Amino acid sequence: MTTPFYVSPEQIMRDKSDYARKGIARGRAVLVMVYADGVLFCGENPSKALHKISEIYDRIAFAAVGKYNEFENLRLAGVRYADLRGYQYDRSDVTSRGLANAYAQTLGTIFTESGKPYEVELTVAEVGDAPADDQLYRLTYDGSVAEEHGYVVMGGNSEPISAAVKDAFAADASLEDAVRLAVKALGAAGDGAEARTIAPASLEAAVLDRTRTRRTFKRLTAERLGTILGA
């Protein structure tokens, strides 16, 4: 009888991690950043049908990079979680922290128990009544969750984008200044390469605006982005 092929659990986890990271790195980056009146989501996405940025609940939104079908499944699960919890208890009981924990459990189970991990990275954001109450949670393919402050960059080419944001970030910036910074950062390139100029039509952007009386989530059209960017 032949000896069965053995692979250590540590090697399996490393292989899964490498596989997921490579899949995520192939996608275009998304930037989530707080500003004076809420939270801005901005990413390069020329598709008008497939959204990387979506509303989850009254004051909560979701941004993702990676495989669309996988993070779309997670988005739908998040909407169902929020609707059910808000119906069973109270709308104020639906929080970004609870949603992030639910996503962490789902991603962790998939990573450890399935043959293929999800090739996704997520940010769950909630806008508060005051800037100090805004919350950003970043989740990775293995279910790891971290509370972030100020901004989050996900996807490919994230290092030069993070560096560009860090140099000019201000939590009390206006929406116009935040959009200009986000678009400039998304076009940044590392290793001395020339920065790109991204056209408004190739951008997907939205905000959680605390000054809105009802739904805080609002998408920014290409026309609005063009006006802000002077394009």
**Is position 3 within any domain?**
no
DSSP track, 107-168? HHHHHHHSSS---EEEEEEE--SSGGG-EEEEE-TTS-EEEE-SEEEESTTHHHHHHHHHHH
Cα separation, 166 vs 57, whole angstroms: 29
Which residue range is the domain that position 116 belongs to?
28-229
pTM for the full predicted model: 0.92
Query: At residue 173, what is the residue type?
Result: A
Q: State phi, psi for 10 to the nearest 5 degrees.
A: -60, -40
**Is position 53 within any domain?**
yes
pLDDT in tens, 211-227: 998 789 999 999 999 99
Cα separation, 123 vs 129, whole angstroms: 20
**Is position 2 within any domain?**
no
**Is position 189 within any domain?**
yes
pLDDT in tens, 52-88: 999 999 999 999 999 999 999 999 999 999 999 999 9
The structural domain count of the chain equals 1
For 82, residues 6+ apart whose C-beta sits below 8 A from its C-beta are 56, 57, 60, 94, 99
**Is position 157 within any domain?**
yes
CATH code for position 158: 3.60.20.10
